[in-house]
Amino acid sequence: MKMDINDFIKNFASQFEDTESIDFTAETHFKELNEWSSLTSLVIIAMVDEEYGVKIKGDDFRNSTTIKDLFEILKSRL
Amino acid sequence: MIINPFSLERKTILVTGASSGIGKAIAIECSKMGATVVITGRNEQRLNETYMQLVGNGHIKIIADLKVENELVELINRLPEIDGLVNVAGILKTLPFQFINRLDLMNLFDVNFFGPVFLSQKIIKARKLNKGSSVVFISSIDGPMTAHIGNSMYSASKGAICAMVKNMALDLAGKKIRVNCVLPGMVETPLIFNKEITKEQLDADMRLYPLKRYGKPEEIAYAVIYLLSDASNWVTGTNLLIDGGYTIS
């Protein structure tokens, strides 16, 4: 599978209801978004599993700040 | 002589899911109350660990995966006549509703619902559940009472169990078989420490309990002992809530 960060950002952004897509970039500090919560974290875990077949853990969020950080974790497990 | 209405002396009790967590604690505590215990589980090594901790003699261990038809049949063939059945075996799968799928949902219902329901039925059909027996199902607060994020599939299976229990209680009353449910809040077992939920999230959840902690497996076992014992002879079709006050807060 071709891993493109822009696709990942798009998939990431589409899980959010109230945050505009334009607010999502590789450098977005996602945990600082108003909409970030336990539920959105579960949604992202499920999205990554469904779209990329990769298991990420709750702890992976703790170890990342930007969307790019998360993307790097994802890539390392492909 | 002191008569203890909570004693399980001269009772044989089958406990499923006895290789870890709540099932393990139930098996051990029942043996301490004088029961002869039959334990079953999928993992031989962990089932042995439970077996070694049982108090007294004459206990039986049977390795079985209740999802596998011939293992279920074998379990029932080897089973002695019993006075109590505790259905504990269960699994958890956390997924937000928009991501649930048929495979995961079927798997959850196989283990949490169909497994215990048909085990109970087959034991009754094989006439191995004595008159005056007690059947206990471990449900959850999630499903019959509460909801938590990502827990829809598990909750549905536990809600289904509670509905089944009430109707089993009616249909089996003629055989003097009592059927009840225990609804635990969060209990410190391997089941709840899954990779989707962080330690911080669990700690935050724990603070929502008026008693400020999760339950211990033994604290569920004591409720089960009550429902298995003659102390609860007039109790059937009920839900016994053990939740550290979670649902009143």
B172: CB partners within 8 A, 6+ apart: B124, B135, B178, B179
Q: Would the pLDDT of A78 be above 90? A: no
Residue B125 falls within a domain, yes or no? yes
* Distance of residue A71 Cα from the nearest chain B Cα, in angstroms: 17
Query: Do the beta carbons of residue B161 and residue B215 sit within 8 Å?
Result: no
Residue B6 falls within a domain, yes or no? no
Segments forming the whole domain that contains residue B67:
12-237
A 10 A CB-CB count for B37 gives 31
Among B150, B196, B198, the residue with its CB nearest the CB of A62 is B198
Lowest mean pLDDT among B162-171, B182-191, B213-222: B182-191
Residue B15, φ and ψ in degrees, nearest 5: -120, 120
Assess whether B154 carries a catalytic annotation.
yes
Count of domains for chain B: 1
Residue B5 falls within a domain, yes or no? no
Residue B164 falls within a domain, yes or no? yes
- Residues B114-132: what's their mean pLDDT? 97
CATH number at residue B55: 3.40.50.720
Residue B132 and residue B7: Cα distance in Å, rounded?
A: 15
Residue B19 falls within a domain, yes or no? yes
Per-window interface: A 3-32 vs B, CB < 8 A:
none
| The model's pTM | 0.93
Residue B247 falls within a domain, yes or no? no
Predicted local distance difference test score (pLDDT) of residue A21: 85
Residue B212 falls within a domain, yes or no? yes
Residue B242 falls within a domain, yes or no? no
pLDDT digits (tens, 9 = 90+) for B23-48: 999 999 999 999 999 999 999 999 99
